[in-house]
Chain A
Amino acid sequence: MSTTAHQGTGGRAHTADGTQETGRAGEGGGRTPLRGLVWLVWRQHRAAFGALCLIVIGGAVWLAVLRGRMAGYLDAHHIAGCSLISLDPRCAGTQEAVSDFRGAYAPSLRYAAMGLLLFPAVVGVFLGAPLIARELESGTHKVVLTQSVSPLRWLAAKTALPALAVLAATSALSAVFAWVWQVGGDEVSGTYWYSVLGFNALGPVPVAYALLALAVGTLAGLLLRRTVASMAVTLGVMAVVQNLFLLVRPYLRPTASAVFPNHESVQLPDGSWPQQQGYVTGSGARLADNACASFTGDYEACLRDHGVAGTYYDNHPVSHHWPLAWTEAGIVLVLAVALTVIVFRVFKRRFG
């Protein structure tokens, strides 16, 4: 009964009106196939999405160049897979070349890894925290919530689209980094998979942290309702979480244990992550590393007295890398999902 005159009498007239409208809106908004809330969220955060895109493209190009140079150097000097101190006869006499390689390329590799380590925090601070906080701060959420869309659908679009963008961007960066790592990682660069930089930059780990940071930022913004405060809290929380996982990381999976008899040299295979070292007695019992440290007399006699038959060395061999990475990423992702559920709960209670 309200305005049939304006809308025309049938669907045809309405459609004509609609297409005309699309054409006109195209002048100001740009032609996109996006519709409804997805369009709005894309339009609102297109600067952030553009920045993500630039970071991915720039990072990928730089890493590709780095990889090419590394590969060229390794091929020229035949030092692929060689460490500074290597038992491999193939690597005999390559110390100088490896040292030069490390001097030339290891810093770049570390910068790249550093970038992936810090990328989640950047995502959380600059995309996650303002996501809801800026709306609540300026009251613009009321613009959307007074239209015909349900609040939860808005929140879904508002969180899903950035999450997808972050997922794509971090996955791409992580994949490119792994591609570079294949050539210049571990032995030859002296930056191993279990180093803080290496582990946080490889495989699913940076992706999971980026999604967690997004969720942390969103929740902080929803609870604090202030952009700057949410950014600070997000940064703090991410620093704490990433540092906590540094401590927990070795215990996410049981270690492998290598035992070396007394007459053998204690030498773990290349790329193993050393953990706990100590003595083993003839009966198989373990003695602490420092069992004889305070002994003032004959050290060898002390060991004999304890019945030491060899040395054990708990470690995570290279084969543990991906199980460890997926376990940590899984835990981080569960955290991210839990925070997102809380976001939806809080939002539902506040806005219905």
Chain B
Amino acid sequence: MTRSMGGRTGRASGRTAIEVIGLGKRYRRRWALRDCTFRLPAGRICALVGPSGAGKTTLLSLASGLIRPTEGVVRAGGADPATASGRVRTAHLTQGKPLYPRLTVAETLRMGRELNPGRWNGARAERIVRDGQVPLDARVGTLSAGRRTRVAFALALAKEPELLLLDEPLADLDPLGRHQIAGLLLAQAAEHGTTIVLASHVLAELDGICDYLLLLGGGRVRLAGEVDDVIGAHALLMGPHGTSGGPPQGIAGGSPRGSAAAGLPPEIAAHTVVDAQLTAGQLTALVRRKGPFTGPWEAVEPSLEELLLAYLRAPDAPELIAPSAEPVSPRLRHKPGVPGLPRNGPAAGAGAVPVTRTGPAGRGTPHPAGRPAVAGPAVYDQHNGKGAVA
């Protein structure tokens, strides 16, 4: 339902919420984020996913101006987030949602009004707090986690931000509270066109909320694009697999040409295998499609959670950056010795073949392993990472 919201604004729409070019942040010796480049179109609800230590919190803090980058550029709404104009437009709910425990709820809201002069929507803040039956005269430190989260959200939303950055916002909520907050977010995006970035490692809570996806790994962007496009570019192939000896339980995926996916049937290895799992003689492989499917394999569209799990299991899988996620500004030339990986992948969405929910997708003659036969209406051109602006 919510994924259709992606169609609200045009693909690679003119407005950009966040643009990040060659961004890096080093804490003492360790790089928390390195060579990070992407663009987030305005008006999306973006899931920011990655394993712990992938740089999610660092990226959000850089985007809200809480910390300064070691290298590279980050722009929020076209402005440096650490400037006055950038600060005004962005709301950032940091991890753990810190609030002053000694202040009452009313005082916390007053703080929001005092510190956001001319921008504070007090009525909205009070409505959000009252809807959660949070007593105004209670000290924040005495509230339950769910109610405290509500106060933190009131503080963030009443600022009327154009960009809302949320770091693990639903982590300490019960299912009902999670549902309520999710509703609040969807309403915010629908009514005000706010761009929302939601960092989380609870994959299930992202499905149904987010229409854009940003997967971080090892401090870099691994997946970026519309959820629908990213999912559409992949398929989950399933079928019995009974070769003698058999491949190991988890087959290392992540080879761009499928050459390392030894032991996999050629029909599967023809595609970019992200991750393959063998359970009780049943092979399940998440592949990036490179043409029609052949062989006795059932191809289904993966869920967002399945897709993300596969990528999290295979940290070396090739990256996939949709055109809408390519920066508009020219890339920085930095460090000639470290060439960026080819930012390739199918032109997301452009004539993507719909994957049938059930049944094998076409039974043709098997291709020779290695080079896929380009067939059908799908045109998978190599994308060089530039000029992806609509």
Contact = CB atoms under 8 A, between A and B. Distances in A.
Interface stretch (B85-93, B174-182, B203-211, B376-384): B85-93
B103 A147 contact: no
Contacts, number: 113
B31 interface: no
Given A27-B136, A148-B88, A352-B68, A142 B98 contact: yes
A147 B107 CA distance: 15
Contact of B99 (A2, A143, A350): A143
A163 B159 CA distance: 31
Nearest to A6: B121
A264 interface: no
B26 interface: no
B123 A28 contact: no
Interface in A27-52: 27-29, 35-37, 39-40, 43-44
B106 A29 contact: yes
A140 interface: yes
A28 B110 contact: yes
Contact of A140 (B67, B99, B159): B99
Given A25-B110, A29-B106, A148-B159, A37 B115 contact: yes
A6 B124 contact: yes
Of A6, A39, A142, most B-chain CB atoms within 10 Å: A142
Nearest to A139: B98
B195 to A, nearest CB: 12
Contacts of A140: 98-100
B159 A147 contact: yes
Interface size class, chain B = 35 or more
Nearest to B121: A6
B97 to A, nearest CB: 9
A28 B87 contact: no
Given A25-B109, A29-B110, A44 B66 contact: no
A2 B126 CA distance: 18
Contacts of A43: 103, 107, 111
A25 B108 CA distance: 9
Contact of A28 (B95, B115, B136, B160): B136
Contacts of B98: 138-140, 142-143
Interface in B25-57: none
A6 to B, nearest CB: 5
B192 to A, nearest CB: 5
B104 A29 contact: yes
Nearest to A25: B110
A305 interface: no
Interface string A132-159: 0000001110111111111000000000
B116 A142 contact: no
B145 to A, nearest CB: 15
A107 B127 CA distance: 61
B101 to A, nearest CB: 8
A21 B160 contact: no
A21 B158 CA distance: 13
A144 B105 contact: no
B67 to A, nearest CB: 8
Leading 8 A-B pairs by shortest Cβ distance: A28-B106, A147-B115, A139-B98, A21-B122, A25-B110, A352-B82, A146-B92, A142-B94
20 contacts: A1-B193, A2-B160, A3-B121, A17-B122, A18-B122, A24-B106, A24-B122, A27-B137, A29-B107, A29-B110, A40-B115, A44-B102, A139-B98, A140-B98, A142-B92, A142-B94, A146-B93, A146-B156, A148-B116, A351-B67
Given A36-B114, A139-B94, 10 more contacts: A29-B104, A43-B103, A139-B95, A140-B99, A143-B99, A143-B111, A144-B115, A147-B112, A148-B84, A148-B116
